[in-house]
Amino acid sequence: MNENFKTLHYYNIALLNSPLEPFTYQSQSAIAIGTKVKVKVRNREVYGVLLASCKEPDFKTSEILEVCDSTYSQKQITLARFISAYYFCSLGEALGVMLGYVNDEILNQVQDDVLLVHNDASTVIASEAWQSHSDITPRDCHVATLLTVTDSAITLSAKQNEALEFLKKHKTSLLFGDTGSGKTEIYMKYFEEMIEQKKRSIFLMPEISLTPQMNQRLHKHFGDAVVMWHSKLTPKQKKEALRKIHDGSAKIIAGPRSALFLPVKDLGLIVVDEEHDESYKSSSRPRYNARDIAIYMGKIHNIGVVLGSATPSLTTYVKFPYVRLRGGHFSSKKEFVYERSSEKLSPMILTSLQETLKAKEQVIVFLPTRANFKYLICSDCGHTHKCPFCSVGMSIHQKSRSLKCHYCNFAQAIPQECSECKSPNLVSSRLGTAEVVKEIQNEFDAVNVEQFDRDVITTANKLKRALKRFNDKETDILVGTQMISKGHDYHGVSLAVVLGLDNILGMSDYRAREKALSTLVQVAGRSGRKESAKVLVQTFNESFFSAFVGRYEDFLEDEKEYRKELYPPYKKLCRILFSHKNGIKAQEAMQQMQDSLRAFSNVEIVGFGKCGIERVADKYRFEILLRSDKSTDIIKAVSACKIELAEIDMDPIEFG
C-alpha cells in the first residue's frame, strides 16, 4: 500500500451569512460536526459550519483551508434548521445570526490569562481564593466572587411570589402584569434562583433604547455576573462580553434579539420582556421573531420561558397559560382626559402644558410612529375609511388619488365626504416630532423641550444623556414617537399627552386596535410613577379607549371575536415580496408565483398587487398575501412554488 496515500474525508458545509445552499469540501483529517472552518468560494475565502460527513461526490472538491477554534452545538444546528425551514432562508443565513462555542483548550488558555492580567477588586479576591484552595479552579473562584458583589437580597410580595411559583410550574408562560406591578423584581428573583442552581439566563428586551436603565438595575444587584449585548458595543466591549460568556462568569446575558443567539452553556431560563413589541421581528433575512424563537429554544433546551408584558399580544394571551399581576399602574391618582380633536396642539393641550410647567413638573408628548402612509379621518366625527372586505383602514395614495387596502388591494377614489356623518371635513395631515417641538418653543418662553426619536437619538450615549437630562429635570418636555413609550422610568412626569391616537387605530393593520390601546397603556405607564398624573388623549374614539384602558384583559377577550376566522392567532399569514429595477419583471414574477399557488386549495390568496410603497431603492415592488389555518400548509405551498425573486415573510407584522 502506498504510504503517501491518505484517506480523504468529505463534508457538507453551510457558508455563514450566504444565501447559497451547503457545498461539499474535502479534508485530509477528520473534523467534528459543527466545527467552524474556512473555505474558498470563487476565489474568496469565507467561513462555514461543517454540517455532516458525506460520500465522495462525482465532482472535484476543494480543500478545507482552516479549522477554526469554535464549534456550533447540535442544538444550535437544530435551531438553525428550524429557522431556515420556517422563515425561508438558507442554513448559512440562519447560522449567521449565531456565535459558536469556543473550544475547551482555547477557553482554558483564556481563563489563565484572565487571572494573570485582570487587577480589579473581584479578581484580586479570586486570586487569593485560588492560592488558598487548590481544589478550586480559576473559573470557579472568579465566578464565585463576582456573585458576592451585590446589593441587598430581592424580597417579593405575596402576590409576586405567587406569580413566580406559577411561572416555575410552566415551561412557557405569560407574566401579564400592569406597568409598575413589579415584573422586573420577579425576573430578578428567577435569575437569582437560576444562579443558585448553577444555571444561566438570557434576558431579552425589545431594543437597545431599554438597556441603559435595565443595565444599571441588574448590575446593582448581580454585579459583574451581568453581561449586556447589543449592536452598539465596541469591538473591545464585545470581546470582553464574549470572554465572560465563554468562561462562565456571565450568569445573566441581557440585550435585544441578537442576545438570544449567543453561545450560552447551562442555559436554564429565557425571559422575553415586553413580548408584544414589534422590535423582536427582524426586517431582513432571516425574518425571524425572537419571541417565537425563544419559545422554540425553550423546547430544545427543555427550560423555562417567561413572556412578560403589561399589554400582551393576543397571540401570546391565547396560546399560553398566564398569571395576572395587578396594581402599580392605574391607581386612582391617574386621570384620563379625552379630547375630540384631530392631531394638533389644541388650546386644551396648551393650557395643560402651561399649568404643568407652572407647577414645575414634567411632560411627555407622544406622537404615533412615523409612518409612510396617511389615513383619511373625518375631523368632525373621527371616522376612518375602512376596506369593505378586510375591516382595516385604507391608505391614501396621492399620485393615483385613491384609497387602497394593503391586504386585498381593493382601491377606490378618495371620497369627498365622510361616509358616516356626511361631513366634507376629511383630513390626512400628520404632525412630526420636530414640528411639535418648534410649536411648543414658540408658545412658551424659556422652556426646555427635547426631541426624543430615532432621528435624534442615534447612539446609546445620546440615549443615556437624554434620559439623564430629563430625570435631572434639565428638560421640561420630552416629545417623541414609540421610543418614548418603551419601558423607561420618568420620575417627575405628571402630564402625558397622546396626540393623534386615531392614526394608529385607523391603520391598515389587523392589529390596529391592539396597537392603539397598547400604545396608550404604555405611554400612560410612563407618567405618575411617584406622583398623581393626568393623561390627555386626543381621539374621536373615547368609547373604545375608556372601555378598555384599565381593563386590558377585557379588550383581549373582545379582540378574540374580532379576529376569529380572519387573523392570527386563529389564522397564519405569509407575505411574499417581489422587487426588481424592472417593474415588469417584478410583476411577472408575482403573477407566475400567484398562478402556481392557486393549485393549493388549503391556502387562500388574500390579495396581490403593487406594494403600498411601490418603489424603494430604485426597485419596483409587488406582493402576495397568503392566509391558512396551518403554517405547515403555507410552508408546503410556498416551498413548491417559490421562485428566485420571491422574498418570504412568515408571520408578517408589516403590511405597508
Give pLDDT, residue 146.
41
Q: Which percentage of the chain shows pLDDT scores above 70?
A: 87
pLDDT over 70 at 557, yes or no: yes
Domains of the chain in sequence order: 9-100 (3.40.1440.60), 147-325 (3.40.50.300), 334-371+430-563 (3.40.50.300), 572-650 (3.30.70.1710)
- Reply yes or no: is the peptide bond before residue 286 cis, omega within 30 of 0: yes
> What is the rounded average pLDDT for all residues in the chain?
86
Confidence (pLDDT) at 530 = 58
Residue 601 grid coordinates: 386549495
Q: Read off the pLDDT of residues 580-589 as tens digits, 9 standing for 90 and up.
A: 999 999 999 9
Query: Residue 369, SS3?
Result: coil
Highest mean pLDDT among 19-33, 111-125, 370-384, 423-437: 19-33
User: Is 135 a residue whose pLDDT tops 70?
Assistant: no
Q: At a CB cut-off of 8 Å and minimum separation 6, what does 158 contact?
A: none
* Buried/exposed code over 297-323 (b: 16+ C-beta within 10 A; e: otherwise): bbeebebbbbbbbbbbbbbbbbebebb
All three cell numbers of 40, joined, read 474558498
Is the model's pLDDT at 328 over the cut of 80?
A: no
Q: Picking from 208-212, 316-320, 473-477, which range would have the lowest pLDDT averaged per residue?
A: 208-212
What is the average per-residue pLDDT within 190-195? 97
Structural Rg of the chain based on CA atoms: 27
Kind of pairing, strands 172-177 and 322-325? parallel
C-alpha cell of residue 140: 470557579
- Rounded Cα–Cα distance for residues 172 and 160 (Å): 18
Three cell numbers written together for 14: 453551510
497 burial level (CB within 10 Å; 0-12, 13-18, 19+): buried
Rama region for 498: left / alpha / beta (φ>0; ψ in -120 to 50; rest): beta
For residue 614, the model assigns a pLDDT of 80
Name the β-bridge partners of 71: 35, 101
pLDDT value at 528 more than 70 = no
How far apart CA 334 and CA 550 sit, in angstroms, is 11
- Nearest Cα to Cα of residue 282 among 293, 298, 269, 296: 293
Higher pLDDT: 326 or 302? It is 302
CA distance to 200, 212, 480, 500, 522, per residue, from 436 (Å): 45, 27, 9, 12, 21
Query: Can you give the pLDDT at residue 374?
Result: 64
68 within 8 A of 37, measured Cβ to Cβ: yes
What pLDDT does 454 receive? 77
Return the number of other C-beta atoms located less than 10 Å from residue 392's C-beta: 23
Segment of 96-110, 405-419, 425-439, 541-555 carrying the highest mean pLDDT: 541-555
CA distance 75 to 522: 36
pLDDT at 387: 81
Q: For 442-478, what is each residue's pLDDT tens digit?
A: 999 889 999 988 778 877 788 888 888 988 899 999 9
Characterise 422 by phi-psi region: left (phi > 0), alpha (psi -120 to 50), beta (else): left
What is the predicted pLDDT for the residue at 107? 46
Peptide linkage before 569 cis (omega within 30 of 0): yes
Confidence bin at 434 (pLDDT 50/70/90): confident
Burial class of residue 250, CB neighbours in 10 A (0-12, 13-18, 19+): buried
Q: Which of 30, 70, 65, 28 is nearest to 49 (CA)?
A: 70
For residues 402-437, one letter each, b for 16 or more C-beta atoms within 10 angstroms of the residue's C-beta and e for the rest, the string is ebbbbbbbbbeebeeebeeeeeeebeeebbebeebb
Q: Of the candidates 251, 259, 271, which has an alpha carbon nearest to the alpha carbon of residue 195?
A: 251
Q: Is the pLDDT of residue 302 over 60?
A: yes
DSSP state at residue 289: B
Tell me, letter by letter, the H, E, C secondary structure of 613-630. Answer: EEEECCEEEEEEEEEECC
Cα–Cα distance, 136 to 130 (Å, whole number):
6
In sign, the C-alpha dihedral spanning 235, 240, 246, 252 is negative
Q: Taking 90 as the threshold, does the pLDDT of residue 400 lie above it?
A: no
The mean pLDDT of 619-642, rounded to a whole number, is 96
Give the model's pLDDT for residue 133. 33
The pLDDT of residue 487 is: 60
Give the pLDDT band (50/70/90) at residue 529: low
Beta strands in 550-603 (DSSP E): 572-580
Across the range 584-606, mean pLDDT stands at 97
Q: pLDDT grade, residue 430 (50/70/90)?
A: low
Would you state the pLDDT for residue 399? 64
Q: How far apart are CA 518 and CA 276, in angstroms?
A: 9
Which range is least confidently modeled, 145-159, 316-330, 580-594? 145-159
pLDDT at residue 641 tops 90: yes
| pLDDT surpassing 70 at residue 129 | no
Q: Is the pLDDT of residue 541 over 70?
A: yes
> Of residues 589 and 214, which shows the higher confidence score?
589
**Torsion angle in degrees (nearest 10) through CA of 111, 117, 122, 125:** 90
Q: Residue 411: beta bridge partners?
A: 404
| Rounded (10°) CA dihedral 345, 347, 349, 354 | 120
User: Which pLDDT band, with edges at 50, 70 and 90, does 142 fall under?
Assistant: very low
Question: Distance (Å, rounded) from C-alpha 313 to C-alpha 278?
Answer: 10
Angstrom distance (rounded) from CA 515 to CA 502 = 11
pLDDT in the model for residue 77: 97
Determine the Cα–Cα distance for residues 394 and 374; give it in Å rounded to an integer: 9
- Element holding 238 (H helix, E strand): helix 235-247
pLDDT tens track for 341-366: 877 899 999 999 999 999 999 999 99
- In degrees, rounded to 5, the angle at the alpha carbon of residue 145 between the alpha carbons of residues 141 and 151 is 160
Reported confidence tier of residue 646, pLDDT bands at 50, 70, 90: very high
Mean predicted confidence (pLDDT) in 263-283: 95
Average pLDDT score over residue span 85-96 = 97
- What confidence category does residue 420 fall into, taking pLDDT thresholds of 50, 70 and 90? confident
pLDDT score, position 647: 96
Q: Is the pTM of this model over 0.95?
A: no
